[in-house]
Structure 1
Amino acid sequence: MRIYVGNLPYSVTDDELRDIFSGFGELASAEVIKDKFSGQSKGFGFVDMPNNSEADTAIKALNESEMKGRKLTVNEARPRAERPRGGGRY
């Protein structure tokens, strides 16, 4: 299951995100999303856990928990909505 983790402190690394979730079971990946130009964290990330019951447990335990003074938003990731392409210029 792919898990969305929002409201992350900007200083959090992929390894720290992995450490938070590793106590709940096996992880396939953990990634903090970064701006492609500046490399600065965007304040959210994704964790992939192959076992759905372990993922559900992690979501319930970590949603609204605090990390470095910020309350995390943790839930099942939803597919990206289709956005129109182009700039609307004539």
Structure 2
Amino acid sequence: MKIQVSNLVTGITDEDLRMLFECFGEVASVEMGGTPGGALIEMLDKKAAKEAIAGLNGQNLKGSDLAVGEGSKRPANNFRRGKKPHRRGRRR
């Protein structure tokens, strides 16, 4: 399960976040820098991820209160690029 972390101060490393989240369960990956002051954490166990969200949201880390929540999946690309819409019947 992916977890979005924001409101990180400069100087926090991916290793800092890994150690923090490993208190709740196994961390598969830590991606820093997707957004300024943000990171994406992936945990293998969904239950552990939910416990981490509940336990760390609002907690202070190096002088800043963390905003921790479920990571969102990318929306599906439903646009029909380059295709003309289907027309019914004949055009007169």
Counterpart of 1:33 in structure 2 is 33
Q: Is the 8 A contact 1:12 1:32 kept in 2?
A: no
Over aligned residues, Cα RMSD in angstroms? 1.6
Q: Are 1:3 and 2:6 an aligned pair?
A: no
Equivalent of 1:53 in 47, 50, 55:
47
> How much does 1:10 deviate?
1.4
CA distance in 2 between partners of 1:56 and 1:79 (Å):
16
> How much does 1:9 deviate?
1.0
Counterpart of 1:72 in structure 2 is 66
**Alignment TM-score, normalising by the size of structure 2:** 0.75
Counterpart of 2:22 in structure 1 is 22
**Alignment TM-score, normalising by the size of structure 1:** 0.77
Task: Work out the percentage of aligned pairs sharing the same amino acid.
Answer: 38
* Cα 1:11–1:34 shift into 2, 3 Å: farther
> How much does 1:79 deviate?
2.7
Q: Which has more radius of gyration?
A: 2
The unaligned stretches of length 5 or more in structure 1 are 36-41, 83-90
